[in-house]
Amino acid sequence: DQQVKQNSPSLSVQEGRISILNCDYTNSMFDYFLWYKKYPAEGPTFLISISSIKDKNEDGRFTVFLNKSAKHLSLHIVPSQPGDSAVYFCAASANTGNQFYFGTGTSLTVIP
């Protein structure tokens, strides 16, 4: 049973506009969330994270929002650039284990 879900397999956005990638989770014990970016034939690379004590974390063009009551997080990329075209995975872990559970990924295409 998938504990972390990304319901949109793909997303296309015009360059300069905002990209919003969504992620839902079912396990209320999750307290740490991460986003990873993956280019073809490469390993995923860490992008941004957020702890459950926060509802927002920002790093340059990337902002992650966490809504604990809805068990939902989102990644905003503003402005989107063609180099952002990649597959984005969200992941979650509970403090007890350092085990990370990943979503199925969303393929973002930024159109020049």
Binding site for another protein (CB under 8 A): 4, 6, 32, 34, 36, 41-46, 49, 89, 91, 93, 98-105
Report the nearest approach of another protein to the CB of residue 68 (Å): 18
Are the C-beta atoms of residues 16 and 112 closer than 8 Å to each other?
A: no
Among the listed residues 37, 53, 31, the one whose alpha carbon sits nearest the alpha carbon of residue 101: 31
Output the DSSP codes for 41-81.
Answer: TS--EEEEEEETT-SEEEETTEEEEEETTTTEEEEEESS--
**DSSP conformational letter for 96:** T
CB of 28 to another protein, least distance (A): 18
- Comparison of 16 and 39: residue with beta carbon closer to another protein: 39
* Nearer of residues 40 and 112 to another protein, judged by Cβ: 40
Structure tokens that stand for 43 in this block: 């390993």
Instruction: In angstroms, give the least distance from the CB of 67 to another protein.
Output: 21
Q: Identify which of residues 32 and 65 has a Cβ nearer to another protein in the complex.
A: 32
Shortest distance in whole angstroms from residue 70 CB to another protein: 21
